[in-house]
Amino acid sequence: MPTFDLASVPLRDLNQALHAVEAGKNETEFEVVNPRGAHAVAVGIDAPVRVDVHGSVGYYCAGMNAEATVTVHGSVGPGVAENMMSGTVVVKGDASQYAGATGHGGLLVIEGNASSRCGISMKGIDIVVKGNIGHMSAFMAQAGNLVVLGDAGDALGDSLYEAKLFVRGEVKSLGADCVKKKMRPKHLALLADLLAKAGITDLKPEEFTRYGSARTLYNFNIDNVDAY
């Protein structure tokens, strides 16, 4: 298992090694030590590799991830797993703002809290936050699922499209066009699967409330002008 010590090795060397991986021809497990808050760690991976980052990192860690499993044994700055396509990203600590922004696929698990705009403009990614999330989370979220075991801040799901939001705790306020929705059997099954994938076995889907789009802002209507 190659180990990259970012206290002595340039970050570029790490990312170049991850980009050079070819299935069946290279090492598939990597360790990163002493990240010391470095930005853009393990970005742009496009191979089924495993990367363990021991320490906290800065912004855009594991951005544009495809196929890889990236685990950060610490906290992350803004934009973790931004524009993620597939694979899994796990944050053992807290995440700063816009975690999982514009993500198209894959699974992002945050074991601590997430700050504001978590899941902004998500386009198919699944995000599970074991703690709380901040304000304006899932703003303009188009597709995918956001699961929150704790509480949500102001304006949850503002201008939401078809993403599904599941919150176990309290929601401070809902954003424009976001409403509480009935939890049907298919949603319970979906949530059970997401909890299992995130390694959560002690909670039941029935403990969560589902939120989604009221679909009143899909087409412009002068009567709704104040909501836009």
**What pLDDT is recorded for position 1?**
86
94: left (phi > 0), else alpha (psi -120 to 50), else beta? beta
Mean pLDDT of the chain: 94
Q: Where are the domains of the chain?
A: 1-107, 113-218
Q: What angle do CA 132, 137, 139 make, to 5 degrees?
A: 170
What's the distance, Cα to Cα, between the start and end of the chain in Å?
Answer: 51
DSSP, res 225 = G
Percent of the chain, pLDDT > 70?
Answer: 93
Q: List, for residues 122-175, the tens digit of each pLDDT value.
A: 999 999 999 999 999 999 999 999 999 999 999 999 999 999 999 999 999 999
pLDDT in tens, 5-24: 999 999 999 999 999 987 55
Instruction: Give percent of the chain above pLDDT 90.
Output: 90
The three-state secondary structure class of 208 is coil
What b-and-e string marks burial along 194-221, b requiring 16 or more CB atoms within 10 Å of the CB? bbeebeeeeeebeebbbbbbbeebeeee
pLDDT for residue 224: 63
